[in-house]
Structure 1
Amino acid sequence: MSLANRLANILYKIAAWLESKRNPNDMKSKFVDLAPTDEADKGGVYSEAILFATNNAKVSNIALTGPYGSGKSSIIQSFLKKYPRTALQISLAAFVPDANSGDEDEDERVSRQEIERSILQQMLYGADANKLPLSRFKRIQSPGVWAIFKSLYIMFGILALWYVFHQREAIVSGNFFSPPLLSNWINVGSFVLAGVFLLMTIHHFYVASFGLSLKSISLKDVEIKPAHDDQMSILNRHLDEIIYFFQSTDYDLVVIEDIDRFEDSEIFVTLREINRLVNENAGVKRTVRFLYALRDDMFVNTDRTKFFEFIIPVIPIINTSNSIDMVLEQGKRLELNEHLNRQFLREVSRYLNDLRLIQNIFNEYAIYMDNLKTDGENLLNANKLLAILIYKNVYPKDFEQLHRGSGNLAEILNRQDELIRHGENTYRAEIAELENRLEVAERQTPLDLKELRQIYAMALIEKLPSNVVAVSLDNRAWIPVQQMISHNAFEEIIGSSRIFCRMANNGWKQVNAINLQSEVNSQKSYEQRKEEIENKAADYKKRSLRQIHDLRSDIAALRTTKLKDLLRLNAGHMQDIFGNFGDNGELARFLILEGYLDDTYYQYTSLFHSGRLSPNDNKFLIQVRAFVVPEPSFPIDNPKEVVAAMRDEDFRQSYILNVRLVDTILSDGGSYRDQAQKFFDFLSSEFESCEEFFNAYYASGQNVVGLLSGLVKAWKRFVPTIIASPNNISHVTQVVSKLPVTLLKALARDFDELPEFVSLNLPEILVNSPELEPERLALLDFEVKELAAIKEHSEIVRVMFDKGLFELTLANLEYAYQAILGESDLESLHERNLTSIRSTGNPPLIKRIERDFDRYLHEIVLGLQENSKENASAILEVIRHDDIDRDDLREFLGRQTTQLSSLEGVPEDFHAMLFNESVIKPTWENCLAFMESEGFSEDSLIDYLGRKLVRVAILEHPVPSGMDSKQLRLFLFAADSMPDTAYQDCVFQTKVATDSRRSLPPIPRESCH
């Protein structure tokens, strides 16, 4: 049996050697052992120092000191490889069990005993039992090859004793030994064998008696114990065993490692005493030396020099500054450097200063990586897997608790909902504050404009006489001074160069106010300051609305926010938890706050099984079954499995209002047609209660197009409902920006309220969707109410302007004139609006005016009080529009200072109006042409001729020599105010007599001759 066992062991070693040779490269590249290496001291410096100490007769206690993980064990192994004599290695790399007692002194005593017991066990049980036959510590001995012969010897010895015992009478009588010849060899041999066997048996029991130890004898109340039983030190108690051990063995060097982990310096006193006693014992013929591997901080100050005769410092092979090289080396060994983030390795290596720990992390990485592959592919994040394994090795207890949902990391993950609620409350408070400020600003803006008016009104009043009761621009329409600030003509008053004042005694006076605005502010006019106030209010409103929109998006996105971002937002709430990690808390803080440890840990800590539910999925279903509606952004990791686990009726309930679930249902219409239909039915029936879901889905959903398209097709009242919703801006923004073009165009055609709503709220819509395509807005066929309000969206402004989709207002024309067309002379636009616009030659702008010319003339041109310098072509353009109101045309013509040179191109219906408003130049040709036209009006001509400008014009132009009666009548009426000489010259040139006195218009008596 023994031979067979030995042969089997030899064959096993040969097979293992052949297996290692078959593919050695793969084994080396994948795993490394954590045992100390015997090639650590390549320079031989440490070995030389240790050898010096072991050859020095004065040195008995040697210390090899260095930080934890500095390579002390490897240096010892490298030395022992070259050491010519035998050495005993004692390693205490095991943790002492905790004592049950709460007394501190008893804890220390038990700990001390455990340490000494471990030293004694490794010392005595490490030697061959046959070399220590007198030891009281008995060990099991395995029978060897000679056990067979020993058994035969015992058997024959017993038989010999039995035989001799039965022949005792013959032995006494002497007949047993006769005859003393070879023929009597059986008797003689049996007697000799029996005697030798009996002697050896007695000797064996005598020697064994030295190892007996009386521990306790109890006779009811009487108990006998050895005197040394109450001694605290086990080594002192068994000192004779230790000395006997060194007497019976040839060890001259005892290497003791890891004894420093117990933080008990008293043990060194005991070991030093034992070393001294062993070396002074006469039975030990050699010098026995103890070599300790210790940390530098094991002794305070210079105390260590009292214990050791020689100290060898070890320079660490790894620390926080060069650990990155060790990490990269391990990554290179596993061919991971391309998959691992170099910055992450550089930062995390600062927390790893133990080479064995790093090696073990990457050993486990190789195993985890191969086992966690899904369908042969490694789809997991390599950095997160490495972070999980670092966490596992540095915090093994917490990692084990994590599987049971407890521990520090689990507590942080369990606080995720609390962090989300806190973040939501914070954002909602900010939204409420912004809305409150916005409301205050809306009320404040009119007050600012009122204050601006008061400033200019006071400046004007200072220029007026003290007893003024009313002011006027034309000495006709009087405005009481008390009502001037709120009057519609206030801006005209402060912009006028002269103002009429009515005194308390009904007298009036003209006041020069040409420098009023420059005296108030020499840099800016009233209009500029008014525009700044309005723009400031508009910009503040727009900025606040954008902030509110962003905060609402943040609220919707909180449920999908990564754990690291939540923790950073609530850093003050996490101090206590990170403190629970102990001295290595900084590493945990780094891994968690950088996002390498989060709620996806389960993917890296357990094998994947198709169809499994994650903890989040299971939590969601538990809440559903408990009739608790989870948040719309509740994280679901395997939505298809959750959908499969839900009941049919769940899709008609609020449980379906989850972003990930809706994404899954909408992404596969074929597989989830019934679920989608139930979902849309629920939305259409419970729209008001689904606002929170819509906000969340607009912010983080992946198929907003599918959601809106499905609702439009399944619900006819969708558009009116969203416009009536409190969140109408958000809904309409998504419809305009996401809905397919064909559906959007159809909605604009079928629902007039949609384009109207977009027109009224376009600035707010663009705040919510700044990347909105201009072509989508053009499809709605609405007019932008204020181009300046969307000036930040220049592309949209340009498209809407080119298509003429903007309201015809003075503000829009001014903005287009300056910002789009690049003109700068606003004064020209105010004094000759149509002329300036026509001079730009911009077809879209001109076409837009032509489309609503009647409105343009009434609201813009006539709204500009200073618009009186239109050129002749612009005046003709206005006159040629036959669809405009006659009163508006008459007012327009009455304001113009430019006169037409002739009636050419003017419709005859408007000839009389031109003469009435003096828009035609006063020439004989024009007057005669008017008299010959179908639109001739004698009253108009008479009124025209009665004006001073006409009379001057007639004097300056030669009178026709061949006047007919009509011309003569015209001449005679105009001659009323002529000087006599001029009148006589004109009469003498006339060759035609009047038909009768009656046909002439009334003329002065002195002219009758």
Structure 2
Amino acid sequence: MERIREVINKRIQEKKKNEFTDLAPIDDIENGAEYLKALHWAIKKEKVKNIALAGPYGAGKSSIIDTYLKKHRITRRKALRVSMATFVENKTDKNGNPKKISLEQDEIELGILKQLFYKVNYKKIPQSRYRKLHKINWKRVWGYLVLIFFVFGIVEFIFFPDTFQMIIKKIEVAGGKFGLKGMVSNSIFLAFCVGILAIIARTYRLVLFRFKVNEVKLPAETVLKNSETAAETVFNKNMDEIVYFFEETKYRIVFFEDLDRLEDPSIFIHLRELNILLNNYDGIKGRIVFVYAIRDDIFTDTDRTKFFEFIIPVIPIINSTNSGEIFLQKLEESEKKGIVHEISQEFILDVSPYVEDMRILQNIYNEFIVYKETIRTDQELKLSDETMMALIIFKNLYPREFAELQMERGVVKQAFEDKQRYISEQCMQWRNEIDELTQKLEKYHDDCLEQVKELKTAMLGAMVDWQGIPYSIKKNYWDKYSVSKIMEDSFELLQLAELKDVEIEYYTWNSYQSVKSVNNFQEVFKRYYERIKNFQFVQEKGVCSIKGEIEDLKKNIHELSGWSLKKLIEKFGVHNVLSEKVVENKLLVFMLRRGYIDEKYANYINYFKGTSITKEDMNYILAVKNMEKLPYNYNLTKVGMVIQRLQPYEFEQKSIFNFILLEYLLSEENDDKKRMILINQLSDRTVESWEFIDEFIEQTQYKARLIQLLALCWPDMWNDIVQNISITYERKIFYLQLLIDNVDTKRLFELNDNNNMSGFIEENPDILQQLSSIQDQKVISLIEILGIIFTNVSIENVSEEVLRYVFENQYYELNDTMIRRIVEFENDTMLSGLDTRNYTTIISLGYEPLIKYIQENLKQYVKGIILTPNNTKEDVKQVMDLLERMLENDPEETKICLELVNHEEICVDDISECCGKFDSDFDKDVKILWDELLDKEKVSLKWENIKCYWDRYKITQELLQYIETNSEQLACLKNQCLKKEFAEEFITSAIDDSAFEKLLPQLELEFDIPIETVEKQKVEILIKKKYIPFDIKKYDEIKEVYPDLCPDFILYNQAEYMEVMEKIPMGETLLETLLLSSVLDSSNAEVLLNVFGENYMTTHIAQYLLQIDVKISISVFNTAWTYLLTDEIKNKLMLKYCSILNAPDFEECFSELSKIYPKFGDRSKRHNAEMANTNENKKLADRLKEVGYITSYTEQEKDDFDPVKGTGGKKNIISCWIKMVKM
């Protein structure tokens, strides 16, 4: 039971996984309810006898009929189906259209009759003249014979009993001889008779079959005649048979299918006539209905409605717009069964518009399954389901073209031959263009070199003012440059850039040797050098452009040979690539354009069987032997056999060049001799060999082995590559990568002839990026063995291991660019600091290999990087570090140190930090640096730095200059470090007086310096600043050395002087100087006037009394009065000091001032005297009244007449009454 269950389950699973679909109409259509309803209504309608199911081929008309008959069993018993169709021959007419198999009308009608009469059992139409073979059952015949036997027995028993009894006795007698009883004997006889009858029945069936023909026999009188001789149709001749058929049978509905394919409208006329006859015959019970499944356009509009009583339009189940949905539905059903086909929805939607018929679609899917299982699965090939489906679609839509394809001919084969033809033609065109461009490049290069030489000649001629032909340029007695050397293409003109004053040896136009000293060499050189560099720049741009075009063309050739037909069509267009015959097949063009049918089509339609060489292989062998060149990409199939049939010497010919052959040689270990012969030929440095290598290397899977063999056999390989002006930089990189990746370093060193490889690597900044795909250790080994020194290198996407090796082992030039790369590598956030504080940034980075490299090459680093214009923000500490290291390493480099100090925007906080640790051996150099720091004010302004400098170098002119310049700021700083010694030296120094005065408060000292050691101006300042204590001894010392400073000494020490003024001699000049000084206190002035004024009065002192406000004695007043020269001044003195005067004093004064005060001096009588009404005169009047000089006064307004102007006015006066004094 278990075994049975397993078998049943296995069959169920196989059924579930079955993807095949039959092409027969289905009997359960979807969305067909309305069709069935309309058809049923029409069939039931009494008046409707001709019904049309009208729709295009593949619309599902037959499926509607099947579904209808399935759902209506009663109708099915009364229905007949007749199908007639013709098909296309595998031939075309003279217009190229496919020919159809044509049928005569009689053949059609005969075919219909056969389908009618072969439908029913011959027993149902026994009177029919049609005969057909039918199966005879021998058992039935045997049954009939047994029945007859028994009937005869019974008749004999009834009507001939004697005879019956006699037969029974004879049977029993015969049995008795064998010892059998009567009953047994009768039974055996009966069984024997039945057996004999069975043998007779079997014999009858065999004999009858031998005399039957396997076809329908028509009566003699109804034999079909040729249409040329018979006037009646088959229907007319056999009308009685047809009528009899419908009269005897129950069939009342006939479905005609595919009659429209016959394209013979007359058959429809005959059928309609037949329908009318049948329906009009009274002997036939019921209505005869003909249902036609035809296409819509079989009749015109009026004919359709007249011919058919009812027309049912059938909408196609599938067309070009929805066939994709059916495809996808079938794929989904397969997926549900666990079968997945790698066919995308995009592919289905792309190809489905070409499939418009349901049967074709189903057959495509069926054949796809068969092909896939047979070719892909059975052979275990990795084939594309989409490509296979595309080929099956093409097979179903163009079966004849597909059959030709399997025979390696036809339109598909032509398409791929067109591809090879187009590639050959296009590559030939591009090669011709490459040849033209290469020739132009070489000519352009030669022309440019010639023009550079002309510019050099012009430069040399200009240097000697065109007085002759130079032959050498002398730098000095030993060094000189020959003109022949300068004129070489490889000479670097920058070697002349450092020359200044040179001598040029030349031949005059008279052929005499002469020498000319050129002082403006650089002026002339730079002018022509710029022209040469500009010209070379333009040349390089032009060369690069042409190289780019050549490389693009080579790249196109490389790529084109490997392009698929799809890509060729996309790039160049269908009409350019394919021949007209191929273009006419729209489906094929579509499949090729989309790539659904490609170069591997043969794998999808045939079994692969390995036999001998192909026809193409033999053509190649013959071409080699005849030294005829074929395309490099000529297709070979049995490469091993081809190589066996070629002799070693033939591998020395250019005609041997073939991509597939070389690929095979590289892949195999055998045939080493032939391989090396071919490699040696490829290394012969010819253009053709290089073209082959350059194209082949893009395609081969064995690049490593090829490059190894070439490097071994071709010593100048890299030289030829790098010097080939037609090879672009990118292509050179490609070959360099191959060499480094696959050739050992020893061989690479040998290939680096004339340093061409190392030079190429060094001069291209992106080289490490280009080599990033190579193993790090190989790159490192190359750098080491070639001794590469990078001047610029890009680090993005470069291996960290490689970069660390370069940076840590100093395989680079110490320049700004490389330093940036290192900082970028270690910490790119610090890059911004390199522009303005390079060394500081590097120290902060802390990358020891770089720091060490810099410190070992300080001079180069400082001159080349630190002293650049923008690098001015270095930290003080790092600048000091650089200065110390440079002085320590090379004390003669003081000049660079000074440049560094001047260049950096620094301020040293402690001047001792700048090389202060050095001993006295470095004093000279350190002083130069310190002086520069002071001069450029790049040291913090504080007394500690001044003291530090003074401690080491005492007071120098540079220090004094620094102090003078910053005296104002220093005066504001507190001095806690400078003591007496510095102060004494400072006071006696030649410092500017202004600075000296400002800075004195900062000096801490008790003045005991001899006055004669100090400049007069400084003594004056010291006096003003009270640095010299006042005493009689100092006064006398100053009076002896600088006597004119004595007044200042007194004035700035007034209190001390006032205490001892009696001990110090006074003089008119001294007193005058003291009193006239603004520094003198008014109280001290009053004392000095009252003490020394009477004895040492001067005119200036007297006049000065008018300006100061001090109290003086009457004696001083009187003395001063005598020194005043004018009445006006005396009047001012009297008015100022009127408060100390009495009546007698006024009288003396008025007597001298009679012009100002008329009548006031006369006291002999009481009288009135007038004076102007002013504030001073009011004060005077009050004093006069107070001392009894006048008795009273009044203020009055009086008429006034100006005799000059002749006008009058009013004036204010004080009218005083002078008191009379008796004498």
Structure 2-normalised TM-score?
Answer: 0.52
Correspondence 1:459-478 to 2 at 5 A = none
Distance 2:430 2:840 in 1: 54
949 and 645 in structure 1: CA distance in 2 versus 1, 3 angstrom threshold:
farther
Does the CA-based 8 Å contact 2:872-2:905 persist in structure 1? no
Q: CA 1:975/1:682 → structure 2, altered by over 3 Å: closer, same or farther?
A: same
The answer as to 2:247 corresponding to 1:247 is: no
Counterparts of 2:709 and 2:90 in 1: how far apart (Å)? 67
What does 1:90-101 align with in structure 2 at a 5 Å threshold?
90-95=83-88
Count of equivalent residues? 773
Secondary structure in structure 1 of the residue aligned to 2:681: helix
Residue identity opposite 1:701 in structure 2: T
| Partner SS, residue 699 of structure 1 | coil
- The residue aligned with 1:860 is 865
Post-superposition Cα deviations, 1:79-133, rounded to whole Å, max 9, x if no partner, equal: 55642136251321424898979999xx9xx989736244223124446699899
1:74 maps to a residue whose letter is S
- Which of 781, 790, 808 aligns to 2:814? It is 808
Whether the 8 Å contact between 1:903 and 1:911 is mirrored in structure 2 is: no
Letter in 1 for 2:80: A
Q: What residue number does 2:1220 align with? A: none
* Match of residue 1128 from structure 2: none
What letter is aligned with 2:82? Q
Q: Any conservation in 2 of the 1:553–1:695 contact (CA below 8 Å)?
A: no
Distance 1:22 1:830 in 2: 82
Cα distance change, pair 664–744 in 1 and its aligned pair in 2 (3 A): same
Q: How does 1:595-744 map to 2 (within 5 A)?
A: 595-611=595-611, 624=624, 627-632=627-632, 640=640, 643=643, 647-654=647-654, 657-668=657-668, 670-686=669-685, 688-726=687-725, 727=727, 729=729, 732-734=732-734, 736-739=736-739, 743-744=743-744
Partner of 1:856, secondary structure, is helix
**Aligned equivalents of 2:700, 2:678: Cα separation in 1:** 15
Deviation at 1:385, TM superposition (A): 2.0
The one-letter amino acid of 1:838's match is: I
Instruction: Evaluate the alpha carbon distance shift between residue 576 and residue 285 of structure 1 in structure 2; reply closer, same or farther with a 3 A threshold.
Output: farther
2:296 match: 296
Query: How far 1:389 moved relative to its partner?
Result: 1.3
Q: Is the 8 A contact 2:430 2:553 kept in 1?
A: yes
Shift of 1:740: 6.2
In 2, Cα distance between equivalents of 1:431 and 1:854: 51
Contact kept? 1:66, 1:316, Cα under 8 Å? yes
1:68 match: secondary structure: coil
Contact 2:764 2:792 in 1 (8 A): no
Which of these residues, 881, 884, 901, is aligned with residue 873 of structure 1? 881
Relative distance call for 1:78 and 1:810 in structure 2 (3 A) is closer
- CA 1:771–1:44 in structure 2 vs 1: closer, same or farther (change >3 Å)? same
1:82-481 aligned within 5 A: 82=73, 83-85=76-78, 87=80, 89-95=82-88, 114=103, 116-126=105-115, 210-211=221-222, 237-250=233-246, 252-261=252-261, 267-277=267-277, 279-280=279-280, 287-301=287-301, 303-318=303-318, 319-320=322-323, 322-328=325-331, 331=334, 336-341=339-344, 343-345=346-348, 347-372=350-375, 377-420=380-423
State the identity %. Answer: 24
The unaligned stretches of length 5 or more in structure 2 are: 1-6, 142-217, 445-496, 499-538, 935-945, 971-976, 1001-1006, 1014-1223
SS across alignment from 1:240? helix
Residue 847, structure 1, aligned to residue 852, structure 2: yes
**Coordinate RMSD, CA, aligned:** 5.9
User: What letter corresponds to residue 762 of structure 1 in structure 2?
Assistant: N
1:379-406 deviation line (CA, Å, top 9, x unaligned): 4333322221121011112212324555
Offset at 1:706?
A: 2.1
- Whole-Å separation in 2 of the counterparts to 1:633 and 1:641: 18
Please state how far the C-alpha of 1:600 moved relative to its aligned partner: 0.9
- Using the TM superposition, give the Cα deviation of residue 577 of structure 1 relative to its aligned residue in structure 2, in angstroms: 6.8
One-letter identity of the residue aligned with 1:676: R
Q: Distance in 1 between matches of 2:96 and 2:901?
A: 113
Is residue 759 of structure 2 the alignment partner of residue 757 of structure 1?
A: yes
Q: CA deviation at 1:876?
A: 1.0
Tell me, in whole angstroms, the C-alpha distance in 2 between the residues paired with 1:295 and 1:285.
31
Deviations 1:231-274 (A, max 9, x none): xxxxx644422524413433644432223335565653454334
- Offset of residue 707 of structure 1: 2.0
The SS at the match of 2:391 is helix
In the alignment, the residues of structure 2 paired with residue 716 and residue 103 of structure 1 have an alpha-carbon distance, to the nearest angstrom, of 64
1:192-214 alpha-carbon deviations (Å, 9 max, x no partner) = xxxxxxxxxxxxxxx97734788
For residues 659 and 80 of structure 1, what CA distance do their matches in structure 2 show? 67
Note if contact 1:736-1:777 (Cα within 8 Å) is conserved in structure 2: no
- Residues 578 and 588, structure 1, Cα contact 8 Å, conserved in 2: no
- Match of 1:725, as an amino acid? N
Q: How does 1:861-940 map to 2 (within 5 A)?
A: 861-862=866-867, 864=869, 871-882=879-890, 901=912, 903-906=915-918, 911-916=923-928
User: Deviation string for 1:879-908 (max 9, x for gaps)?
Assistant: 223398776567556767867536544487
Q: 2: CA distance between counterparts of 1:388 and 1:94?
A: 23
Distance (whole Å) between structure 1 residues aligned to residue 93 and residue 577 of structure 2: 32
* Higher Cα Rg, which structure: 2
Whole-Å separation in 2 of the counterparts to 1:103 and 1:589: 19
8 Å CA contact 1:830, 1:864 repeated in 2: no
CA distance in 2, matches of 1:336, 1:550: 47
Aligned mates of 1:325, 1:854 — CA distance in 2:
79
Closer, same or farther in 2 for the Cα pair 1:120/1:757, shift >3 Å?
farther
Partner of residue 469, structure 1: none
Q: Helix, strand or coil: the match of 1:723?
A: helix
Distance 1:765 1:301 in 2: 81
Aligned-residue offset at 1:592: 2.7
Provide closer, same or farther for how the CA distance between residues 325 and 865 of structure 1 changes in structure 2, counting only shifts above 3 A. Answer: closer
Closer, same or farther in 2 for the Cα pair 1:721/1:543, shift >3 Å? closer
Deviations 1:617-670 (A, max 9, x none): 6776676566454555556666556555655445444456544444443333x3
- Shift of the 114–84 alpha-carbon distance from structure 1 to 2, 3 Å rule, reads same
Taking structure 1 as reference, are residues 87 and 325 closer, same or farther at Cα in structure 2, changes over 3 Å only? Answer: same
Q: Deviations over 1:182-231 (max 9, x none)?
A: xxxxxxxxxxxxxxxxxxxxxxxxx9773478879xxxxxxxx85x76xx
Structure 1 residue matching 2:290: 3-state secondary structure: strand
Task: Look up the equivalent residue of 2:864 and give its one-letter code.
Answer: E
Equivalent-residue separation in structure 2 for 1:323 and 1:385 (angstroms): 18
Is contact 1:331–1:362 with CA below 8 Å preserved after alignment?
Answer: no
TM-score, structure 1 as length reference: 0.62
Equivalent-residue separation in structure 2 for 1:389 and 1:116 (angstroms): 36
Map of 2:571 onto structure 1: 569
Q: Deviations over 1:821-844 (max 9, x none)?
A: 446786x75666444543443324
Shift of 1:725: 3.5
- Judged with a 3 Å threshold, the aligned counterparts in structure 2 of structure 1 residues 127 and 876 are, in CA distance, closer, same or farther, namely same
Q: Summarize the Cα distance change of 1:987–1:855 in structure 2 as closer, same or farther, 3 Å threshold.
A: farther
User: Which stretch of structure 1 is more off in the superposition, 384-393 or 52-61?
Assistant: 52-61
Determine the C-alpha separation between the residues in 2 that align with 1:98 and 1:953: 117
What CA distance in whole angstroms lies between the structure 2 residues aligned with 1:825 and 1:285? 110
Structure 2 matches for 1:517-528, cutoff 5 A?
A: none
Q: Whose RCO is larger (CA < 8 A, sep 6+)? A: 1
Structure 1 residue 601: deviation in Å? 0.9
Give 1:755 deviation, angstroms: 5.0
**Mean Cα displacement is larger for which, 807-816 or 637-646?**
637-646
Amino acid at match of 2:815: T
Local SS of the residue matching 2:311: strand
Where do 5+ consecutive residues of structure 1 fail to align? Answer: 1-18, 150-206, 217-224, 230-235, 441-487, 490-536, 932-940, 963-967, 991-1009
